[in-house]
Structure 1
């Protein structure tokens, strides 16, 4: 299998450089609550103005609504002023749950729909989306279809977006990915991706996009009933999140700032992807990412066993 790397292990020919922060566009597809279309457009424009030029969406987000709103927000903008990422693997139809579509034909139909909703004829990144139960088909059919489109210039780079670091590492070993998006598995709360996925990506020159760094919102506001993996948080996980918040508060640091900055410190991670549904959220996230955090905070988190001693910190 070819891996386009140079002698020093760096990556070349894998598309435009990614920004430090990207905008996750699932929330503007009414993920948690209805969003006014004008607010959705303002959210996108604010992200671009503040340097979050990677815009990540998927047909699965709101059954196409996220792509539609993102396309409307981008309609009057220079296509070269941002990077556009979408996903394949699921067929969406209004008023019906998404259905698996990991065949080569499914890839083409999915991208045709995404192009129509987004008003574009090319993508900077296309991820295979949550192929957990369809991994063999993704390897045999989805990836070759995406590789052909990459060769034709329709796609700049190929990625895979998953919540399972173990399965994503398996996909990295079996395919020729340029980038990966790992959601919720390399965060201040849990660092499962550190053991296998992140070292593997470093070895192969694959850029990592860290998403879900608030663990579905838990680290934004740890409380009983808060979302974790898109479900109410279990008591033992909540206790860990509250302990993280307690230590951050003692150092006069917002928990969200530590949660944003921690994954970015790993050398395999190129971009931290943050979802937002309002311009104020975008501006707040950028400010938190730039906040200076004391080294004593990380030392105490390590001493408390809340982050692994081998995990890099800012």
Structure 2
């Protein structure tokens, strides 16, 4: 287990990202979601991340139902604030425009106010059926920076000082504003999705060095870049759009090198994310027990030093990016 910043909160090196069990893109049955979470526990995963955004609360409800069977002191759970869920007057259609295959019975309201933070967290606790969560992130404040820093962040600080939560931070699909949180606030952790992978190392420029310097932790999400690094092929999504031929070619090159060195691209992708000293946990989104088992197996598989040598020689990863093997002189 790894400690988040200077807090008392600890997370497992491999974490469970719960967007998929909120019916991300396609429906997941109750049994399938429960089996995925039970398998995660069996595989030693003890950190679970969720958000109201994921399936309009479905992810939180399913996660809470599964975790209520477990000793509360034995796992860490994080959720997010910034999108309040409100009932709609007349529910029509689904939520697929926002990426989730659920009925559109609620609507999201951006709200990083102090009152909004507390109300959103209270609703999350009700859906989870828990009396506390361990970590709360400001969720995607990209277009709401002023309110997030002026009102949302201080509200999280108060919740932490009151002992309501153990650690606070922000979660985003970018590195720049997360760097500002690390440098200008007293966050314990930031969640950086898709910006520190084998295909995108933007977080290495400022975010990760700043976090290491200031003793903050980073949780990495999107290690597979929307699945491209799990199984690269034409037509897949990368960075919220169809993958370009250039990026696909690079992903296929990485896969070929991995297989030539007797490993898998999935194992290499997870190992790369977890190798930086500022990274406390790598989240993997899974929608089935088989996907969880595979992720745990890949995460535990050592990646040969020769693989990293070749990636550096071909400038496929930056020379200063930490890798698991240290014998690269």
Give the TM interval when normalised to the shorter protein.
over 0.9
Alignment of 1:24-43 (within 5 A): 24-43=17-36
* Partner residue of 2:163 out of 153, 157, 166: 153
8 Å contact kept, 2:4–2:10: no
Q: Map of 1:142-181 to 2, 5 A cutoff? A: 142-181=152-191
- Work out the CA distance in 1 between the residues paired with 2:108 and 2:226: 20
Name the CA shift for 1:302/1:97 in 2 (closer, same or farther; >3 Å): farther
Q: Which runs of 5+ in 2 are unaligned?
A: 88-103, 325-329
SS of aligned partner of 2:297: helix
Q: CA RMSD in A?
A: 1.5
Encode CA deviations 1:50-97: one digit per residue, 9 max, x unaligned.
111000000001111100111111222221121010000012246255
1:153 Cα deviation (Å)? 1.1
1:199 lines up with 2:209 in the alignment: yes
Shift of 1:171: 2.1
- Local SS of the residue matching 1:139: helix
Paired position in structure 2 for 1:228:
238
Q: Does 1:56 align with 2:66?
A: no
The correspondence for 2:274, drawn from 264, 280, 284, is 264
Distance 1:100 1:290 in 2: 39
Distance change (3 Å), C-alpha of 1:205 and 1:290: same
Taking structure 1 as reference, are residues 130 and 64 closer, same or farther at Cα in structure 2, changes over 3 Å only? same
How far apart in 1 are the matches of 2:16 and 2:120? 22
Distance apart, 1:129 and its partner CA: 0.5
Aligned partner (choices 98, 104, 115) of residue 105 of structure 1: 115
Describe the shift of the 1:97–1:240 C-alpha distance in structure 2 as closer, same or farther (beyond 3 A): farther
Confirm whether residue 188 of structure 1 aligns to residue 198 of structure 2. yes
Instruction: Quote the Cα distance in structure 1 between the aligned partners of 2:119 and 2:190.
Output: 22
Cα distance in 2 for residues equivalent to 1:112 and 1:11: 23
Which residue is equivalent to 1:217? 227
Q: CA deviation at 1:17?
A: 2.1
1:78 maps to: 71
Question: How far does residue 39 in structure 1 lie from its aligned partner after superposition?
Answer: 1.5
1:251 deviation in Å? 1.5
Q: Distance in 2 between matches of 1:180 and 1:141?
A: 18
TM-score by length of 2: 0.89
State the 1:109 CA deviation. Answer: 1.1
Given candidates 310, 313, 316, the residue that maps to 1:300 is: 310
Aligned length: 305
Residues 124 and 156 of structure 1 are in contact (CA less than 8 Å); yes or no, is this contact kept in structure 2? yes
Query: Alpha-carbon deviations, 1:232-275, whole Å to 9, x = none?
Result: 21222212111111211221221101001111111111111111
Find runs of 4+ consecutive structure 1 residues off by over 6 angstroms.
none
